[in-house]
Amino acid sequence: MTALEILGLGTALPVHNISQQAASVFAASCVKTDSDEQRNLPALIQALYRRAGVRQRHSVLLESSSEGEATAERFYRFAADASDRGPSTAERMQRYEVEAPPLAARAAAAAIEQSGISPAEITHLVTVSCSGFSAPGFDLLLIEQLGLADSVARTHVGFMGCHGALNGLRVAHAFAAADPHAVILVCALELCTLHHQYGWDPQKIVANSLFADGAAAVVGRAATAADTVPSGQAPGRSFVAGSASQVIPGTRDMMTWNIRNAGFEMTLSPEVPRVITEYLPRVLGEFLGRHGLRTTDVAAWGIHPGGPRILAAAAEAINLTDEQMEPSLGILQRCGNMSSPTVLFILQEQLRRNSRGPCVLLGFGPGLNVEMCLLRLS
């Protein structure tokens, strides 16, 4: 079967970041209640933020202060009362239209530069996002800013959640299999901090404590089976060999991402880690078995960091060590959960470590759905 060779991988973060401690102080300003609990809210919110496993996050909403520190933020106002839900969805989408294209362009330009491919050679453009909508979208602006051909075939993977980049890689793999001359650019972009939720709701505060902004892009083309055989001549090559998707029955409401009047709202059931622990061994085992592999054969892992409990559940389910989980935990600590681009940040980290052999990328999203992607790193 034709594989997709990854020729270049680029990532981009907003210029400014905020520490988790400072973020918790900001979060408390967005919560008002009509009860005596108000005085205890800052401490409760700080406790939830400490448990998120995040040290810092980047956001397009942050601005440099006079001292050069990323502390200024003018988009969100202090909550006026318990009914205040912050900026409208329209206001948030207007900001998405402004901020999405330049961040996506930085990631895509880095991937193209690493690939050595001329922008005019790219035949297919696959964009991924679940945190905003506009038409024309940032795909049109990528064509203009990067010098892609006006005839490039565009496909958008929308609203798939945290595993969206894996869906994008599957689409790119299919294009490569269908056309041996295809050169595909995949760009995943999320501005999750546009959807900070106001009010006292522990599930929403947990989501607020995790999410961040970022973009990642991949340039790939078709490769034959012979290309994927390690030869010792061209180290550092990586290939998408296969992918799979599995909806877990009876979990429809355990993870949701819905458009509401004040942004997009996420719910995440505390049952999700238990479900992952229960179902992942079988689902992943069947996927790897189709490729003649077992979990013990996998040399590198990229598990989407939906949060520390989800990572812990995945590690328990497939018996991974702290060392094997470190790339995922490290990205969560340094960058937060950027939704769809995050798993490509982890893949980039594995490539920087010169990982060799089978590599598995895993993501979890609404459904409850498990997305799996097998790469071969040489």
pLDDT at position 249 over 60? yes
Domain covering 235-377, topology: Peroxisomal Thiolase; Chain A, domain 1 (3.40.47)
Written as one string, the DSSP assignment of 227-286 is GGS--SSSTT-EEEEEEEEEEPTT-TTSEEEEEETTEEEEEE-TTHHHHHHHHHHHHHHH
The domain ranges of the chain are 3-13+90-192+217-226, 235-377
Confidence tier at 134 by pLDDT (50, 70, 90): very high
pLDDT (0 to 100) of residue 38: 64
Q: Are strands 3-12 and 213-223 parallel, antiparallel or unpaired?
A: antiparallel
- Report yes or no: 328 and 342 within 8 Å, Cβ to Cβ: no
At 81 the pLDDT is 87
In order of 85, 172, 177, 194, the CA distances from 91 in angstroms are 12, 33, 41, 9
Question: Contact 24/41 with Cβ under 8 angstroms?
Answer: no
Q: What is the mean pLDDT of residues 198-222?
A: 94
Any idea which fold 3-13+90-192+217-226 has? Peroxisomal Thiolase; Chain A, domain 1 (3.40.47)
Predicted confidence at residue 2, as pLDDT, reads: 86
The pLDDT score that the predictor gives to residue 52 is 96
Query: pTM of the entire structure?
Result: 0.95
Q: How far is CA 180 from the centre of its chain?
A: 28
Mean pLDDT of 245-257: 95
pLDDT digits (tens, 9 = 90+) for 137-190: 999 999 999 999 999 999 999 999 999 999 999 999 999 999 999 999 999 999
Determine the straight-line distance between the first and last CA of the chain, rounded to whole angstroms.
18
Band (pLDDT 50/70/90 cuts) for residue 63 is confident
- H/E stretch holding 153 reads strand 153-158
Between CA 371 and CA 165 the distance in angstroms is 10
Ramachandran category for residue 294: left, alpha or beta (phi over 0 → left; psi -120 to 50 → alpha)? beta
pLDDT higher than 60, residue 70: no
pLDDT at 35: 66
**HSE on the CB side for 378, CA within 13 Å?**
18
> What does the DSSP assignment read for 179-240?
-TT-EEEEEEEEEGGGGPPPSS-HHHHHHHHHB-EEEEEEEEEEE-TGGGS--SSSTT-EEE
Cα radius of gyration rounded to whole Å, the chain: 20
Same fold, 3-13+90-192+217-226 and 235-377: yes
DSSP annotation of 20? H
The confidence band for 36, taking pLDDT boundaries of 50, 70 and 90, is low
Q: Quickly state the pLDDT bin for 71 (edges 50, 70, 90).
A: low
Check whether 240 has a pLDDT greater than 70: yes
- For residue 342, which of 330, 356, 355 has the smallest C-alpha distance? 330
Confidence check: pLDDT of 10 > 60 = yes
Bond before 41 cis per omega within 30 degrees? no
**pLDDT tens for each residue of 94-132:** 999 999 999 999 999 999 999 999 999 999 999 999 999
* Average pLDDT value for the chain: 93
Among 76, 75, 56, 60, smallest CA distance to 198 is for: 76
- Write the DSSP symbol of residue 16: -
